[in-house]
Amino acid sequence: YIFEFHSVKWQEESFINPQNISKLLKSDLGKLYFSTVRRVLPSAPLRQKSPVNVTLSEVGSTGKLRWEKWNGSPPNGAVSIHNSYADRIDYVCKVGCHSGFYNPSMGSYCHYPNKKEEHRSSSFQILVNEDNVEILEWKEGSYGSVPKNSVRTCSSEEMYVGKNEYGLGKVDPKDQCFYLPWKGKQYWYRSYEVLTQVKAEEDLISDVKYNIKHDKIFKEPPKTLRSSFVKNLSHMNVTKTVSLTQTTTDQRRWDCSHAFTVGIRTTMKTGIPGIVEGHVEINAETTHTFSRGNTWTEQVSHTVSLQLTVPPNHSCKVKIVGYQYRMDIPFTARLKRTYEDGETRSAIVSGTYHGVQVGEIRAEVEKCKPLSNSKRFFKILDIWSENLLK
């Protein structure tokens, strides 16, 4: 819990519409007390589709290990092997769900096995391990078996990246073998190696730098968070203390596909951007832990207390009013990833911070209105007074 307390002496015009001042019937407003209580909620889960087989990793188009569309040359971090049999460097590629090899000396084609033949295509994807962050290992398999955390080629079919002494190909568990493309034909083998990804256990995100010059701030119209009516049923002025409390939810989300992974404990050291007088300011660095997602949610309790003098037989409406801000801010950070074998690797990542914040909380007093029976009340009061004088 984080507690903030403020006591401020307000002038009437600082929180009352100037057009209504003359209509308050000499209402007297004293000190206004404002307090804020913050309660951090558990992180929200990432919105991700469940993998087809949770025991096997499925490489997508985002993240540090990903399939990237071929654009004419091997990108930085392209996954490769030294093919000792052919004495050349081959790169891991795929067409659809069929993995194979790309070799620069053989043109801009991915060679892959399918339906008893070697095929080649100029439209393909290549496997990339950006910044060499992920730890990849080749592990033995046979008769269609694949080790834990094997690299899968797609979600629609159970196919994996494989190799043997002659080069790269695909492992097809349902056919219980490894397929190799070679000189126009497809060859199969019962023993092979499968590409696997060492499981990460913990991520540390630090050195977060927000690019405030390129921030986008959206301010919504003022909204009444809570209101209350103060009634005076007597025939003289009454001074009452009014207290209103309302809870709002502030949300912070860091979108960075390279950093936040389901099932990995993530610790983030960063200052939190906030709106102060219409501008973004970064507060002091704090540490936050995420175990189920990339969102940090905080419940904020706003309380205002004020003294209000209500005219006889009138009702005055008091409101808590605030503005909701939305922020989109680019950022960069350093990612340090620790793997199950104890090895650590680091890289620079980038993303966008999205924040939702309720601010500029203030109290407003609307025009005090006569109660519906006020005319009848004063008429009876006049008759009663006249009778006393007789």
Domain with CATH 2.170.15.10 in the chain: 14-32+202-383
Q: How many CB atoms lie within 10 A of CB 278?
A: 11
Rounded Cα distance between 284 and 274, Å, is 11
pLDDT at 293: 67
Q: How many CB atoms lie within 10 A of CB 9?
A: 8
CA-to-CA dists, residue 345 to 139, 183, 203, 348, angstroms: 21, 39, 10, 11
Q: What would the DSSP string read from start to end of 154-176?
A: -SSS--EEEEETTEEEEEEGGGT
Over the stretch 337-379, which tens digit does the pLDDT of each residue have?
A: 999 889 999 988 889 999 999 988 888 899 899 987 655 555 5
**Mean pLDDT across 200-207:** 91
Among 52-61, 115-124, 247-256, the range with the most confident prediction by mean pLDDT is: 115-124
How confident is residue 294, by pLDDT bands cut at 50, 70 and 90? confident
**First-to-last C-alpha distance (Å) of the chain:** 67
pLDDT at 199: 87
Rounded Cα distance between 337 and 79, Å, is 19
pLDDT at 26 over 90: no
| Cα 260 to chain centroid, rounded | 9
**Mean pLDDT across 13-38:** 41
CA-to-CA dists, residue 155 to 60, 137, 178, angstroms: 9, 21, 19
Structure tokens at 195: 């590409």
320, 309, 313: which is closest to 231 by C-alpha? 313
Q: What are phi and psi of 131, to 5 degrees?
A: 60, 10
Find out if CATH 3.40.140.10 is the number for domain 14-32+202-383. Answer: no
- 19 SS3 class: helix
Q: What dihedral do alpha carbons 59, 60, 63, 66 form, nearest 10°?
A: 70
Where does the chain have alpha helices with state H?
A: 374-389
Rounded Cα distance between 170 and 157, Å, is 12
**Mean pLDDT across 30-52:** 42
Q: What would the DSSP string read from start to end of 28-82?
A: -EEEEEEEEEEEEEEEEPP--PPPS-TTS-B--SSSSEEEEE--SSPPTTB-EEE
Rounded Cα distance between 357 and 250, Å, is 5
- Which residue type does 134 have? E
pLDDT at 47 over 70: no
Rounded Cα distance between 336 and 267, Å, is 10
Global confidence as pTM: 0.65
Is residue 11 within 8 Å of residue 21, measured between CB atoms? no
| Cα 202 to chain centroid, rounded | 18
pLDDT at 22: 36
